[in-house]
Structure 1
Amino acid sequence: MSGIDVRRILRIRREHAVRMTPFRKRRHIPRPVDSNSPPEFADKCIVVGISTGGPPALATLFQSLAPPLPPIIIVQHMPSHFTRPLASRLDSLGKISVKEAEPGDVLRPNQALIAPGGKHLRLRRFDGETHALIRDGEPVNNHKPSIDVTMRSVAEHFPGRCLGVIMTGMGSDGANGCAAIREAGGYVLGQDEATSDIYGMNRVAQERGNVDQQFSLGDGARAITRQTQLLWLPHPVGVGR
């Protein structure tokens, strides 16, 4: 815990609880998914890993993200019963449809799925579509959902066609997942220290050489949109980008 401001972390969590309260009182119906996107977007994926300080950072990001975008998966370290209200809040803020992932959900362009609290989210492919696989299991890196678990699955199912985004949070979860994405030919963006509430997971990924480019939170939507366009350009696996 050396160097960690515990009081700051507790304040962030209290503020998050206050923001989430109104959304726990009603069931939110996600906005319709925008079906206008290039056909190839269905065969790409963006995966976002985030922890402490995540809800306000995601709110800033999703206020600016706009179609067309590939399917998005969000892994936010959170207990059960909190991820659905978070999905409702993000869905209400911008132009991307956001919902808590359920077993069998199909990944669709212009929609974000949030890994449910207390479960791991992996992917499986059948009938020509990629589906969310929600499973229990032991925590990985002391977390469930684990960013590493989901990022590795995304890298496996979308080799060379996935964008990893590692953001604010304590610990090192996601660092190995970022490595898996890059090894599979994908690209990784990391939130910078200046705009992170806790420069932890993204710091570890950066120090291990698993981040291709850093971004400030205010420029996050633009960086993601720009890089997803570049994902369509082929490049050899393992070649520096």
Structure 2
Amino acid sequence: MTIKVLVVDDSALIRAVLGEIIRQQPDMELVGAAADPYIARDLISKTNPDVLTLDIEMPRMDGLEFLERLMHGHPMPVLMLSSLTEAGADVTLRALELGAVDFFTKPKLGLREGLNEYAEVIADKIRTVASAKVQRRLRKPETRSTRPPVQFVSTERVLLIGASTGGTEAIKAVLERLPANCPGVLVTQHMPAGFTRSFAERLNRVTGLKVCEAQGNERLLPGHVFIAPGDKHLKLTRSGANYITQLSDDAPVNRHRPAVDVLFHSAALAAGKNAVAALLTGMGKDGADGLLAMRNAGAHTIAQDEASSVVYGMPREAVERNAACEQLPLPDIAAAMIRAAGGSTTRI
């Protein structure tokens, strides 16, 4: 099946380079290129693309406004182009909230050379986005979640979450349903350096938990969530009675750093049966082997089901390896994690 791609960007150079990359792929067709959202709107009607690549900063109507209108009226798979800056990270995360499936960052220097260097990555992202489930999005204001505490039988528990494509919103959905006194949480989401801090700050605002980008050597405490920083592996270690975060510059695993497998394998060793892990939406197989190691170590393991996954790649790999104790829709995962950690879900 040929993937029809429409490129929307006010830069003629980016339109040209992305067009070249798309035309070089045997399974893709460039059906058009638009300099602004108004032209894009007409081309969408004429060409009915499978994937839209969309720049955030454009004249006449910015990418976010266009994306919001698009996902409300004509939902389709969107791959955002982002700048590798703090402001770019904030806007990109907002785009993911509005329904964009994934993003890639523009190189700072040597635009043509930089984009061509990442041609394979861009093509893979387009393929992933094309396979994603997309739903109509309605605008919801950001509100900080408040939930009553839950009684936990043991203070030895630790929660772990891994995700990739579609994961930013899936992680938020899980964290929003956890009580303020839940066991400490470690999260690995495939995301580049410069974006994870903004991701953590956004989650801190809306989940009711204390969320931050991991710095390493932090003690896990109830209600605290540590996000793996971009370009660093996050591991769980133990010091006496305490769980401690650890960062690593080891080589990428499954082409990723941070990698979910690294986090899960470390938890299998450090926490064993006291760990509860959830592997959420994402392309590829990262996390599946680690989840199996955790299950073999006595941990309770969960995979997100196909129907609720934006991309059912990583969870499928885990299920096929018999790594998951249970497979659940996204809205049920937090309650299952609390239950497995020895807490009551009756007040959630």
Mapped contact 2:237–2:267 kept (Cα < 8 A): no
Aligned to 1:14: 80
Following TM superposition, where does structure 1 have runs of at least 4 consecutive aligned residues deviating by more than 3 angstroms?
A: 1-6, 8-13, 15-19, 34-39
Tell me: CA distance 1:204–1:36, structure 2 relative to 1, closer, same or farther (3 Å). closer
The AA in structure 2 aligned to 1:20 is L
Asked whether the equivalents of residues 77 and 146 of structure 1 are also in contact (C-alpha less than 8 Å), the reply is yes
Matched, 1:203 2:316: yes
- Unaligned 5+ runs, structure 2: 4-26, 29-49, 55-76, 83-88, 96-147, 344-348
The superposition leaves residues 157-178 of structure 1 with CA deviations (integer Å, 9 ceiling, x where unpaired) of 1111111100000000001101
Seen in structure 2, the aligned counterparts of structure 1 residues 115 and 219 have a Cα distance that, compared at 3 Å, is same
Distance 1:178 1:14 in 2: 30
C-alpha offsets along residues 169-206 of structure 1, whole Å, 9 cap, x if unaligned? 00000011011101111111110101100000000000
Q: How many residues align?
A: 218
Q: Which has the higher contact order (CA 8 A, sep 6+)?
A: 1
Match of 1:122 in 2: 235
Specify whether residues 36 and 185 from structure 1 end up closer, same or farther in structure 2 by C-alpha distance, changes over 3 A only: closer
Larger radius of gyration: 2
Counterparts in 2 of 1:207 and 1:38: CA distance versus 1, 3 Å: closer
Q: Secondary structure at the match of 2:341?
A: helix
Among candidates 330, 333, 348, match of residue 217 of structure 1: 330
Instruction: Check 1:146–1:8 CA distance in 2 against 1; reply closer, same or farther (3 A cut).
Output: farther
Task: Indicate which of 141, 145, 150 corresponds to 2:263.
Answer: 150
Alpha-carbon distance, 1:40 to partner: 2.8
Give the distance between the partners of 1:70 and 1:217, measured in 2 at CA.
Answer: 19
Does 2:171 align with 1:68? no
Contact 1:37–1:67 (8 Å) recurs in 2: no
Greater CA deviation, 188-197 or 62-71?
A: 62-71
Displacement after TM superposition at 1:136 (Å): 0.6
Stretches of structure 1 that go unaligned for 5 or more consecutive residues are: 23-33, 231-241
Within 2, Cα distance between the matches of 1:59 and 1:8? 25
Instruction: Name the counterpart of 2:206.
Output: 93
* Inter-partner Cα distance in structure 2 for 1:188 and 1:9: 35
After TM superposition, the score normalised by the length of structure 2 is 0.57
Cα RMSD of the aligned pairs, angstroms, is 3.0
Q: 1:81 to 1:159 in 2, by over 3 A?
A: same
